[in-house]
Amino acid sequence: MDSVDVEVVRTAEAWRRQGRAVALGTIVKTWGSAPRPVGAMVAIRDDGQITGSVSGGCVEDDLVEKVKEKFARAKKPELVTYGVTNEEATRWGLPCGGTLQLVVEPLSDRSGIAELLQKIGEQQLVRRKLEMDSGRATLEPGRWQDVLEFDGRVLSAVHGPRWRLVLIGAGQLTRYLAEMARMLDYHVVVIDPREEYANSWDLPSVPINRGMPDDIVRELQLDGHSGLVALTHDPKLDDLALMEALKSAAFYVGAIGSKKNNDARRERLKEFDVSSDEIARLRGPVGLYIGSKTPPEIAVAILAEMTAVRHGVSEPTWAAKPERRFDASACEVKQPT
């Protein structure tokens, strides 16, 4: 569940606590072109007030009417389909004959939304199973690889941060990066054993780990949903974390610093048990080259590059870093001749 859909669920529960009838819609399947992906959510109040989106707007208009006429008083969820034919797809504003199915769920105490929001607030990954026949929902720990599943009887959806970002160092840049990353569906882990930095860390939503970076990174067992960025400028800390991260399946490993400093870092990594192919995975200088100078701008550049990597998008030519070649056999950086 991304941050947009978390807000949908939070608003829906707030309305329900105010005594309003609320229906929660979740996309469970799409065919053809669809404006929003599977798992996207919308919440509609009994008076027609709406938050979130599952289409370009026409589907929401019909859903509002359905909630007013039926779902505000319903006792259990129901499957709703839009755009079965090209004519209907055009009517509902779905492009290219697109079709989508939604589970529309009237919220109640059985929905477990309050407990779900509490767990999400604690940065837990949660699997919520909704029984179509009864409207009862149960919660259990989720896994990074879990996806939304719907078999007609049970809707099983994953809520909470689906990606992990490990940040080495608790300085000013880390704060901006951590706050922005949480908006992009990351569970953020900050590691810094330095007392002067750890004692001044005051971001309640992101706890700090005081252990040594290499030990903690090994314990975290970084997988393909994990990224790590080293931010201390201290080789004793950054290099230890990078050694472990580069050996892992992490989708993104980066380090702050100039090209010169990162060239020196690659040379240092050669002296440890890190292969040339693993060193070649290091993104340093970290982030897209967008002329960023301030900590917030640098955080944007880093997260932009991470987002591109997540989605398999090639680096745009206008944001490419100054050209360099990495000689895997010699494990050193060379300037173009």
pLDDT string in tens for the chain (337-residue length): 556 788 899 999 999 999 999 999 999 998 766 667 889 999 999 999 999 988 866 788 889 999 888 877 888 999 999 875 666 656 655 655 568 899 999 999 999 999 999 988 877 889 999 999 999 999 999 887 788 999 999 999 988 877 899 999 999 999 999 999 988 888 899 999 999 998 899 888 898 999 999 999 999 999 888 999 999 999 999 999 999 999 999 999 999 999 999 999 999 999 988 999 999 999 999 999 999 999 999 999 999 999 999 988 887 766 666 654 334 333 433 434 3
Q: In terms of domains, do 180 and 328 share one?
A: yes
**Quick one: CA torsion of 233, 236, 241, 243, rounded to 10 degrees?**
110
Q: In terms of domains, do 185 and 69 share one?
A: no
Q: In terms of domains, do 117 and 182 share one?
A: no
| Structural domains of the chain, count | 2
User: Rounded to an integer, what distance in angstroms lies between the CA atom of residue 157 and that of residue 139?
Assistant: 10
Which residue in this structure is represented by tokens 């002067």? 196
Question: What are the φ and ψ backbone dihedral angles of 42, each rounded to 5 degrees?
Answer: -140, 145
Q: Which amino acid is at 33?
A: S
Q: In terms of domains, do 17 and 120 share one?
A: yes
Q: In terms of domains, do 142 and 184 share one?
A: no
- Cα separation values, 295 from 45, 171, 189, 227, 234, Å: 40, 10, 19, 19, 18
Q: In terms of domains, do 95 and 179 share one?
A: no
Q: Which domain holds residue 321?
A: 163-334
Three-class secondary structure of residue 42 per DSSP: strand
* pLDDT value at residue 241: 96
Q: In terms of domains, do 152 and 170 share one?
A: no
* CATH number of the domain enclosing 290: 3.40.50.720
Do 229 and 165 touch, CB atoms closer than 8 A? yes
| Cis peptide, bond prior to residue 285, ω within 30 of zero | yes
Q: In terms of domains, do 120 and 169 share one?
A: no
* pLDDT value at residue 233: 92
